[in-house]
Structure 1
Amino acid sequence: MSDWQDIATAPMDGTEILLASIGQTFDGVPVPPRVTLGHYTVGDELLRDAGDCGGACRCPEYEEIEPFWMSWDGGFTDENPPTHWQPLPPPPIRESSPEPAAFKPQLLGYDECRCILTQYCDGTCRPIYSRPPNE
């Protein structure tokens, strides 16, 4: 199933999208189909540097150009325009490993009692607990 849509339905607000063209011909030479990232030009992209004003201030001057489909590889022209588009896919999501369960030590028993006053010892003075697996 293809999500390609006709270029006439593409956003023309500068949104980055996937652009595609079907195989075309230019001056009798076949132009292969292609897919690339691009957008419709808007705003300052429509200003071409025309040098400066020529005065002492040397203010930059620009001339306004017609909007066009701009691709990052620069391959679309009026003669070979994009014919289809589709939105960019969402970025990948970092797959997080599940949080390890919190380690809860288990009482394994008691070590030999070393109390000085053994008559007061209940035998629980040296408990032995399980350790986390990585220790």
Structure 2
Amino acid sequence: MSDWQPISTAPRDGTKVDLWGINHLHYDKKSYRKCDVAWGRVTDWMGRERDDWQHGMGEDFEPTHWLPLPQPPEDAQ
């Protein structure tokens, strides 16, 4: 069973989530998981700012699904 949800339902309030998406630069459009990603201000390679996912992979990574982060272990500091 999967908890992955469509990217259109992802929180855009700065909450960190895991993303699943497609790397359009990869020859076979390889998919990746990016962990601990939030929505917020990003700057593209031309210096323009916009609101987007802060995954650090540039505009070639297209998130398709998201997953809430799990709770940390009870004994974590």
Match among 29, 33, 36 for residue 35 of structure 1? 33
TM-score by length of 2: 0.74
TM-score by length of 1: 0.45
Number of corresponding residues:
72
C-alpha displacement of 1:24: 5.1
Structure that is richer in strand per residue: 2
| Structure with bigger RCO (C-alpha 8 Å, 6+ apart) | 2
Residue identity opposite 1:39 in structure 2: A
Aligned counterparts, 1:73-92, within 5 A:
74-77=56-59, 79-92=60-73
Unaligned runs of 5+ in 1: 49-62, 95-135
Unaligned runs of 5+ in 2: none
C-alpha displacement of 1:10: 0.2
Residue identity opposite 2:67 in structure 1: Q
- Aligned residue for 2:15, secondary structure, equals coil
Give the 4+ runs in structure 1 shifted more than 6 A: none
Contact 1:47 1:64 in 2 (8 A): yes
Task: Decide which structure has the larger Cα Rg and report it.
Answer: 1
Give me the whole-angstrom Cα distance separating, in 2, the residues matched to 1:34 and 1:70. 15
C-alpha displacement of 1:47: 7.4
Please provide the CA RMSD for this pair.
2.6
